[in-house]
């Protein structure tokens, strides 16, 4: 019995020495590193984590999947070129549900469970505002590829909030210019009651009135409503030349269908925000008694993806080859958000939120060698060369509050229900 006890103690001693020497399983090692280093446990020897929080369900679901694919394509190209810091990058995908509550819960998981140093999202203004303080308090970089709400420009975010799409402070001007140039003297607005809709409408009203136009009715609607008959009656009551609808595809299509049924499309035009710009809109609204799409010819404003030139063309070709369909609005902005995060990690030498935040302007802004290919950009950084990333969505130059400038154009729905891009709208 004594000998057996000695043998048992000897085995325990050997095991203790093995563990002390660092010979633990990868999963055990990851857990130890995570406990000791906070956000640094987003990095292991195998992977660096980046979160996505996009609308895979809800009112913006028409955009969420294609946006997620934009991020996936960027990260695939990063990993094909050696990853970052010698590790592959893994996307931790969460669904915002186009809901402030769902987005809040998902962001809390990304921050406290997955401990990601950066998040791509949210898409809309409401979910973006719902998660911004979680990002700030946990020192997580938040880059939205589609939130255009003006309120974020002045939000005290300690430099952790960025976006790769321009603010509606510019797009509201573009919509006002389009309305004025088309010859509309009076307009009514019907907008979703959140930061996006309210902010867009305020800029449009100010600019349209500066150009000599008159706003006759202003209506806000709740995205949780099931019907919008009363809102349609109010916005069309004064018989404006044009009705401006600022919203998202699911609820926006219900409004347009109600407007058709109530005759609110007779003798007046409608202009739509970029939040409605999807090839699915015509099918969602439906066809008239003659079998034609109700919204054929409807137009609106949108950030112009063509402003990126060859960089966007290369992205679009690669995207279509990878996923079997053309990219939709904001796909390229999401691609750029993922690319910028990865390049900032490589440049800073750390997958830490604060380090990423501080390095974003160094990879996206001048001076530096202009580059749009992710693999080339990573190689230049590793070679010690300063870079100026040129995005697939346009020139990415961040100002002091994390906003980018943008160019706009008219979009329109064709006879076959698809979206086509039209002339450029120049705004200052």
Residue pair 268/241 in contact by the 8 Å Cβ criterion: yes
Q: Residue 204 and residue 416: Cα distance in Å, rounded?
A: 30
Question: What tens-digit pLDDT sequence spans the chain (428 residues)?
Answer: 333 333 333 333 333 333 333 333 333 333 333 333 334 445 545 689 999 999 999 999 999 999 999 999 999 999 999 999 999 999 999 999 999 999 999 999 999 999 999 999 999 999 999 999 999 999 999 999 999 998 999 999 999 999 999 998 889 999 999 999 999 999 999 999 998 999 999 999 999 999 999 999 999 999 999 999 999 999 999 999 999 999 999 999 999 999 999 999 998 999 999 999 999 999 999 999 999 999 999 999 999 988 888 899 999 999 999 999 999 999 999 999 999 999 999 999 999 999 999 999 999 999 999 999 999 999 999 999 999 999 999 889 999 999 998 899 999 999 999 999 999 998 87
Q: Which residues contact 119 (CB under 8 A, 6 or more apart)?
A: 50, 51, 52, 53, 107, 110, 131, 135, 140, 141, 142, 143
- Mean pLDDT for the chain overall: 90
Residue pair 169/147 in contact by the 8 Å Cβ criterion: no
Residue pair 153/403 in contact by the 8 Å Cβ criterion: yes
For CA atoms 315, 310, 142, 302, the dihedral sign is negative
Q: pLDDT tens across 288-324, in order?
A: 999 999 999 999 999 998 888 889 999 999 999 999 9
Tell me what pLDDT residue 312 has. Answer: 93
Q: pLDDT tens across 367-404, in order?
A: 999 999 999 999 999 999 999 999 999 889 999 999 99
Task: Say what the alpha-carbon torsion angle 253, 256, 261, 266 is, to the nearest 10 degrees.
Answer: -160
SS3 sequence of 63-82: HHHHHHHHHHHHHHHHHHCC
Residue pair 250/227 in contact by the 8 Å Cβ criterion: no
Q: Give alpha helix (H) positions in 300-352.
A: 310-323, 331-348
Tell me what pLDDT residue 2 has. Answer: 36
Q: Which domains does the chain have, with CATH numbers?
A: 46-166+308-389 (3.40.50.2300), 169-304+408-425 (3.40.50.2300)
| 282-296 per-residue burial string, b: 16 or more CB within 10 A, e: under 16 | bebbeeeeeeebbbb
Closest by alpha carbon to 274, among 293, 246, 252, 250?
A: 246
Listed as own residue / partner, the contacts of 237-241 with beta carbons closer than 8 Å and 24 or more positions apart are 238/186, 238/188, 239/267, 239/268, 240/184, 240/186, 240/187, 240/188, 240/216, 240/268, 241/183, 241/184, 241/185, 241/186, 241/187, 241/268, 241/269
Tell me what pLDDT residue 406 has. Answer: 86
**Three-state secondary structure call for residue 296:** coil
Tell me what pLDDT residue 338 has. Answer: 98
Q: Residue 324 and residue 339: Cα distance in Å, rounded?
A: 21
Residue pair 175/243 in contact by the 8 Å Cβ criterion: no
| 141-173 per-residue burial string, b: 16 or more CB within 10 A, e: under 16 | bbbbbbbbbbbbbebebebbbbbbbbbbbbbbb
The neighbour count for residue 342, using CB atoms within 10 Å, is 29
Pairing of strands 408-413, 299-303: antiparallel
Q: pLDDT tens across 157-206, in order?
A: 999 999 999 998 889 999 999 999 999 999 999 999 998 999 999 999 99
First to last CA, the chain: 90
């Amino acid at each position: 019995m004594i000998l057996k006890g000695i043998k048992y103690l000897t085995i325990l001693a050997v095991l203790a020495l093995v563990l002390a020497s660092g010979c633990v399983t990868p999963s055990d090692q990851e857990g130890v590193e995570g406990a000791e280093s906070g956000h640094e446990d987003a990095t292991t020897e195998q992977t660096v984590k980046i979160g996505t929080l996009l609308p895979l369900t809800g009112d913006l679901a028409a955009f969420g999947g294609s946006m997620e694919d934009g991020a996936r394509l960027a990260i695939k190209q990063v990993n094909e070129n050696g990853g970052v810091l010698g590790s592959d990058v893994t996307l931790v995908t969460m669904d915002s549900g186009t809901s402030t509550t769902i987005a809040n819960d998902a962001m809390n998981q990304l921050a406290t469970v997955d401990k990601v140093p950066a998040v791509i999202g949210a898409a809309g203004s409401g979910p973006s505002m719902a998660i911004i303080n979680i990002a700030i308090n946990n020192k997580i970089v938040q880059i939205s590829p589609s939130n255009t709400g003006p309120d974020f420009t002045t939000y005290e975010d300690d430099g952790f909030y960025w976006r790769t799409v321009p603010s509606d402070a510019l797009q509201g001007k573009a919509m006002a210019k389009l309305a004025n140039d088309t010859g509309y003297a009076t307009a009514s607005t019907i907008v979703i009651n959140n930061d996006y809709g309210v902010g867009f409408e305020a800029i449009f009203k100010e600019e349209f009135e500066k150009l000599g136009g008159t706003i006759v009715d202003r209506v806000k609607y709740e995205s949780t409503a099931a019907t919008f008959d009363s809102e349609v009656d109010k916005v069309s009551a004064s018989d404006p030349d044009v009705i401006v609808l600022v919203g998202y595809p699911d609820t926006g299509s219900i409004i347009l269908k109600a407007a058709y049924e109530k005759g609110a499309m007779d003798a007046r035009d409608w202009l739509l925000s970029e939040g409605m710009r999807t090839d699915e809109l015509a099918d969602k609204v439906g066809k008239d008694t003659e079998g034609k799409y109700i919204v054929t010819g409807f137009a609106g404003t949108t950030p112009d993806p063509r402003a990126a030139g060859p960089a966007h063309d290369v992205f679009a070709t690669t995207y279509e080859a990878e996923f079997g369909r053309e990219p939709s609005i904001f796909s390229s902005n999401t691609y750029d958000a993922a690319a910028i995060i990865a390049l900032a990690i490589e440049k800073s030498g750390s997958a830490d939120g604060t380090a990423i935040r501080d390095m974003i302007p160094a990879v996206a802004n001048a001076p530096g060698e202009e580059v749009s290919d992710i693999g080339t950009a990573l190689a230049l950084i590793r070679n010690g060369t300063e870079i100026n990333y040129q995005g697939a969505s346009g020139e990415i130059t961040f100002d002091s509050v994390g906003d980018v400038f943008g160019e706009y154009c008219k979009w329109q729905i064709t006879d076959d229900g698809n979206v086509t891009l039209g002339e450029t709208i120049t705004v200052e």
